[in-house]
Amino acid sequence: MTSRERLELTMRCGQADRVPAKPPPLPPAAPATAEQRRRFAAAFDAINDTMASWGLEGDTGFFYTVHPDFHYREYRRPASHEGYEELVQELAVPAGRLTGIELNSPVGLPAYQQQYMISRPEDVDILLSIPCEPPRPSPQAFFDKVAALGDKGVVIVGMVDVVYNVYRLLGSERFALWSADQRELLHAMCEFFCRRQCDAIKYCLSQGMGPCFGWVGPEICVPPLMGPRDFDDFVVRYDRRLTDIIHEAGGVVWVHSHGSVSKVLEGFVAAGVDCLQPLEPPPYGDLILADAKRRVRGRICLEGNFECYEFDKLSPEAMRERVRQAIQDAAPGGGFIVASADSPTQPMTPQSVAALLAFVEAVRDYGKY
């Protein structure tokens, strides 16, 4: 099978010729010997299945409009904090203005949101007043990416989850507080984005894009910040409308969500998700592969369950056993993709190089059906 065929079948919970894999690459600067690099390249080429992404938001930001009364710009200016600069995000419509400020670091320090666009209930009125004239981007860039990738993998039509768009305007603290005393405002914001994203998906499908669609961001509504009721109310309720459109056209839905997803795993099923990633295990997450496999019963493809810190901590022998056990727990019958949540910590050490080599060779050795 080609990588494209393997991924598409597995994302639909089918069983391919082998377990698909998305291994991290070995960086050029990693302290690897020539023999390690040779072995890594041989195993990596044998197992690597690529998932690329084409971003749907484009030049319109995440507001999905090109109406002449909508004005959005971003610009940079000096910050008062050493090592940072401000990225100013300004939105203007006849009803008013909204401004957000993100602190970015040109020297590699963590980024921070200094000011969110929405801080008062009145600001929501400005958001809801944004006139809708849906963008109709050329699909050529998507098809160019598909052609460049060929049979080596799939290209996902990517976007941000409905609820994560709301979070980007509010921040997690205000989102949590408003879920208690301004819940209808949150629903109004979710409805604003959901309608526009449904329209964008329908346009993509009309242009022949797909079959793989995906989004990131449901983690804003998983424990401990929010509870299962909130997940149903703000994720399942709106995402199901997106996934229904995609499924009616024969498409498949891939979702990236960090956090304690085991507590809301059945919610992802109800939302119509076909493939869920990255499935972080304890202690940073809560997902146990064998338990998840039993609970989803072939309704969701499981992708991931390996953390970047494991490459720093596990011996090659322990990593091989970790891969073998994961495949044993989740691969039977199909619907499992071996992947890590991120690449190994940089800069790599001889320990992490050895663990990464053990990872790719174990996937090659144990991943055949």
Question: What is the predicted pLDDT for the residue at 57?
Answer: 76
Question: What is the predicted pLDDT for the residue at 58?
Answer: 65
Same domain for 113 and 236, yes or no, is no
- Give per-residue pLDDT as tens, 100-135: 999 999 999 999 999 999 999 999 999 999 999 999
Same domain for 94 and 107, yes or no, is yes
Question: What is the predicted pLDDT for the residue at 60?
Answer: 63
Q: What is the pLDDT along the chain (369 residues), one digit of tens a residue?
A: 999 999 999 999 999 999 999 999 999 999 999 999 999 999 999 999 999 999 987 666 689 999 999 999 999 999 999 999 999 999 999 999 999 999 999 999 999 999 999 999 999 999 999 999 999 989 999 999 999 999 999 999 999 999 999 999 999 999 999 999 999 999 999 999 999 999 999 999 999 999 999 999 999 999 988 999 999 999 999 999 999 999 999 999 999 999 999 999 999 999 999 999 999 999 989 999 999 999 999 999 999 999 999 999 999 999 999 999 999 999 999 999 999 987 777 789 999 999 999 999 999 999 999
Three state DSSP letters for 4-39: HHHHHHHHCCCCCCECCEECCCCCCCCCCCHHHHHH
Count of structural domains, the chain: 2
Answer yes or no: is 127 within a domain: no
Same domain for 288 and 205, yes or no, is yes
Q: Point out the domain boundary residue: 82, 117, 152.
A: 117
Q: Give the other-Cβ count within 10 Å of 148's Cβ.
A: 10
Same domain for 181 and 312, yes or no, is yes
Answer yes or no: is 49 within a domain: yes
Rounded-to-integer distance, Cα 113 and Cα 103, Å: 6
Same domain for 160 and 216, yes or no, is yes
Answer yes or no: is 126 within a domain: no
Same domain for 154 and 63, yes or no, is yes
CA–centroid distance for 197 within its chain:
16
Same domain for 90 and 165, yes or no, is no
Contact 305, 290 (CB under 8 A): no
Answer yes or no: is 279 within a domain: yes
Question: What is the predicted pLDDT for the residue at 62?
Answer: 85
Same domain for 161 and 80, yes or no, is no
Intra-chain end-to-end CA distance of the chain, in Å: 13
Task: Give me the domain span that covers residue 111.
Answer: 69-117
Same domain for 99 and 192, yes or no, is no
Answer yes or no: is 329 within a domain: yes
CA–centroid distance for 60 within its chain:
20
CA distances from 86 to 100, 114, 350 (A): 10, 9, 38
Phi, psi of 51 (to 5 degrees): -115, 115
As a dihedral over the C-alpha atoms of residue 229, residue 335, residue 330, residue 323, rounded to 10 degrees, the angle is -120
- Give per-residue pLDDT as tens, 266-310: 999 999 999 999 999 999 899 999 999 999 999 999 999 999 999
Same domain for 185 and 196, yes or no, is yes
Same domain for 293 and 195, yes or no, is yes
Answer yes or no: is 123 within a domain: no
Answer yes or no: is 124 within a domain: no
Q: Point out the domain boundary residue: 50, 85, 117.
A: 117
Same domain for 29 and 76, yes or no, is no
What CATH number is given to the structural domain containing 53?
Answer: 3.20.20.210
Answer yes or no: is 101 within a domain: yes
Q: Give the other-Cβ count within 10 Å of 238's Cβ.
A: 22
